[in-house]
């Protein structure tokens, strides 16, 4: 319930102020078709371009027509052969050298640090070692000495609430 309310609030924030004033209800805001829903990953401009449309009357909707939000982003990525969540290990095939203080392996984080597990270079060459990699303070693997450094993600103006 609260998630809905917050999402609608954030949807309201995305829209321009005069638009918000024009729509009497949240559903009217969602049905607004000013932004064409993205049908390719390259057409995604922001959350408002990920609101799906509806199917033609009398037909069964398809995912491309109706998928919305993060699920639509994932679908568009899959259609382009891209896993947008990229949950696999950070492997650097382009230069098979371990991270160094000057050239660390960068790890995305929502916080100011993240726990990483190093399995050596090349990938899988030693037991996984777990340690913290910070934004300000790098993390080093006890086993192979590889250096990891975190960089912050997340919305600029708003910190995550949970």
Partner 1 sequence: MNLTLKKFQVHPFHLVAPSPWPILVSFSVMSIMLTLVFNMHGFMHNNYWVVFSAIVAIMTMALWFRDIISEATYLGDHTLAVRKGLNIGFILFVVSELFFFIAIFWAFFHSAMAPTIELGGVWPPVGIEAIGPSELPLLNTILLLCSGATLTWSHHALLGGNRFNTLLGLILTIALAVTFMICQYMEYSNAPFTISDGIFGSVFYFGTGFHGLHIIIGIIMLGVSLWRIYTYQLTNNHHVGYETSILYYHFVDVVWLFLYIVFYWWGT
Which spans of this chain sit near partner 1 (rule: CB under 8 A)? 1-4, 6-7, 30, 41-42, 44-47, 50, 52, 54-55, 58-63, 65-74, 84-87, 108, 153-156, 162
Distance of CA 116 to the CA centre of its chain: 18
Q: Is 32 annotated as a binding residue?
A: no
Q: Is 144 annotated as a binding residue?
A: yes
Rounded Cα–Cα distance for residues 145 and 151 (Å)? 20
Q: Minimum distance from CB of 40 to partner 1 (Å)?
A: 10
What does 87-150 look like in DSSP terms, one character per residue? -S----TTS-----SSSPEEEEESSSEEEEEE--SSTTSS--EEEEEESSS-EE-TTT--EEEE
CB 76 within 8 A of CB 40: yes
Q: Which of 29, 38, 25, 22 is nearest to 73 (CA)?
A: 38
Nearer to partner 1, 84 or 144 (CB): 84
Q: Minimum distance from CB of 26 to partner 1 (Å)?
A: 10
Q: Minimum distance from CB of 144 to partner 1 (Å)?
A: 26
Q: Minimum distance from CB of 47 to partner 1 (Å)?
A: 7
Q: Minimum distance from CB of 104 to partner 1 (Å)?
A: 18
Nearer to partner 1, 63 or 142 (CB): 63
Nearer to partner 1, 21 or 155 (CB): 155
SS3 category, 153: coil
Q: Which of 54, 77, 48, 50 is nearest to 66 (CA)?
A: 54
Nearer to partner 1, 53 or 129 (CB): 53
Nearer to partner 1, 80 or 127 (CB): 80
Binding-site annotation: residue ranges for Zn(2+):
118, 126, 141, 144
């Amino acid at each position: 319930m609260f998630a809905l309310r917050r999402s609608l609030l954030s949807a309201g924030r995305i829209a321009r102020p005069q638009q918000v004033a024009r729509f009497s209800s949240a559903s009217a805001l969602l049905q607004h078709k000013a932004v064409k829903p993205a049908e390719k990953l390259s057409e995604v401009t922001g959350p408002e371009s990920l609101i799906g449309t509806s199917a033609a009357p009398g037909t069964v909707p398809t995912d491309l027509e109706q998928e919305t939000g993060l699920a639509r982003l994932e679908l568009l990525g899959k259609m382009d052969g891209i896993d947008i969540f990229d949950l696999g290990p950070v492997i650097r095939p382009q230069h098979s050298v371990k991270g160094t203080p000057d050239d660390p392996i960068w790890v995305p984080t929502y916080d100011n640090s993240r726990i990483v597990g190093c399995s050596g270079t090349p990938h899988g060459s030693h037991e996984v070692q777990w340690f913290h990699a910070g934004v300000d303070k790098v993390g080093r693997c006890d086993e192979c000495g590889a250096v990891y450094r975190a960089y912050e993600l997340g919305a600029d103006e708003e910190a995550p609430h949970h």
